[in-house]
Structures are given as C-alpha cells and as structure tokens.
Amino acid sequence: MNFADRLAAAVVRKGTSLCVGLDPRIDLLPPELVTGLKAGPAGRARAYERFCTALIESVAEEAVAVKPQVAFFEALGGHGLSALDRICAFASEHDLIVIADAKRGDIGSTSQAYAEAWLAPRDGGPPVADAMTVNPYMGGDSLEPFLLACGAGSGLFVLVRTSNPGAADLQEQLLADGRPVWERTAELVAGWGAELIGESRLSSVGAVIGATSPEAVERARELMPHQVLLLPGVGAQGGRAGDLAAAFRDHPAGGLVVAARSVIYAWRERRGDWQQSVRLAAAELRAATPVA
C-alpha cells in the first residue's frame, strides 16, 4: 500500500498528527532505567531500549508516528543497532508509523545499501522502518534507490528547509534567479514524488521543513502541494504547533508535528510518575496541533 495512504488513514483513524522523536541520552534517562546495568555499550543499549519502549507505551494513544534518531544507537555499535531493531518492531506492534531519522544520501551501490538497510524486508519480515529521512545534497541519482523503495510501499522525507540555526548557511543562499536554494530543492522534491501520489492525493515522498519558520512552512505548502511535511522543532527548539496550519491546508495528514525533548523528557520538569508526565505532555501537544 502507498505509504502516504497508510499514513493518511492512520492520521484520520487516530485523530492526531503528532510524531514523537526518540532521542535517548544516557545522562537524561530516569535513574531507575540505568541502575544495575553494566557500564559500556551493551548496558547503555539496554537502557535505551527500556526507555524507548516505555515511551512508546506512553505515547501510543496520542501519536501517529515515532522518529528514532539513528545516531544515538549507531554510537553504541552492534548493541545499539540491535536495540533499535527491537524498538522499531515494538512501535509497529503499537500501531505507530516508524520514521528512521538517518539522513542518508550517497550514490550507486552505497545508496542502494542504505535503502536496503532501512526500507527493504529483513529476513522474510517487514522493513525496520516505514519511512526514513534522506539528504538530497548529491542530487537526484543519490535518491534513486530510495525512490524505488517508495514504489514498494516505503516513504521518504527529504531535507528541504531544516530547523537548525545554521540551515541558512546553504539553504537560504540565493540562486541566480533570486530564489533561495531550499525553494529549488522543494521543486525537485515535488517532481521526485509526482509518480508516487496515492489515493489520498499525498505523495510517499515528503519533505522536512523546520517548524521554527512558519513562513517557510506556508511557502513549502505552495511549492509542494502533495508532500507530507515532517515538521521538527516544536517545543525545545521554539517552534509552536499552532503556527503550522498551512501544512494541513489540504489534508489532515499534510503534516507531522515532531517533538522530542519537550515530550520524552517532560518528567524532568513535572512531578510524579515519569511515564505519566510523558503521556500528559504528548496529550497536550496533540491538543495544540491543527488537526487535533
């Protein structure tokens, strides 16, 4: 089934466009998840798995997707990647779309291997993730293996206008015709996804647009009418869910509002059970999103 159609159906069924980032850091985890574990990568991977599976249980009713940040698991080597595989499977079992935040992008056999790692069936089972983030800096040929995976039911989110302050160093630079680089990238994304539009009128090739710039979100919707916009930067980075209505102009699944630290570490500023604090933070953010 077309990825965008699966996502659209899930958004409508659950009534939420919230995507929770899974960004585990050992120094920020609840102490009870770390106590008794051995030092080193194996112990840290176990702590991350405990944390992320508990997060998934806490937000499953409030979110439509989770976005594990692959780097935190890669840093732990094989132990971390094995834990990530189990976390992704656990999220799928809890009716959550899984978006691997891997930001891959290369050419030829290397790009093919990245696509196989995240979006191809694994040992007769499903892929690790439903979709992944990719970097288009090397051009259209670097995305060809990922686009082929989209034809088989996976999804992509292409970096276009990101939420970090340094994004302007390249993305806002002007081309000869006066447009910023990111707008040209948006046009390319619309073209790459044109043949992957489903019955929902959304494409399996989406775009990453930082929620910290509502003006960019509005312009992105104009340039990419069929793209699902992945909208990171809500909460700790200063973005506000209420400013993102343009993403949802044509469809309730036109955007995914992404929050990580403000949800998964909410317990650090609230009293009581840590999982309940996470659940409440997710519910509050869901209520603030344009499609809640």
Taking all residues of the chain, what is their mean pLDDT, rounded to a whole number?
Answer: 95
| Band of residue 271 on the pLDDT scale cut at 50, 70, 90 | confident
Tally of domains in the chain: 1
Q: Give residue-wise pLDDT tens across range 257-270.
A: 999 999 999 988 88
- Predicted local distance difference test score (pLDDT) of residue 61: 97
- Residue 27's pLDDT is 92
pLDDT score of 128 more than 80: yes
CATH code of the domain in which 226 resides: 3.20.20.70
- Integer Cα distance of 95 and 193 in angstroms: 25
Q: Tens digit of pLDDT for each residue in 174-209?
A: 999 999 999 999 999 999 999 999 999 999 999 999
Is residue 103 annotated as a catalytic residue, yes or no? yes
Identify the residue whose tokens are 């953010």: 285
Contacts of 164 (CB under 8 A, 6+ apart): 210
How many percent of the chain have pLDDT more than 90? 88
Name the residue range of residue 75's domain: 3-288
pLDDT of 292 > 80? The answer is no
DSSP secondary structure of 15-70:
T--EEEEE---GGGS-GGGTTTPPSSHHHHHHHHHHHHHHHHHHHTTT-SEEEEBH
| Whether pTM exceeds 0.85 | yes
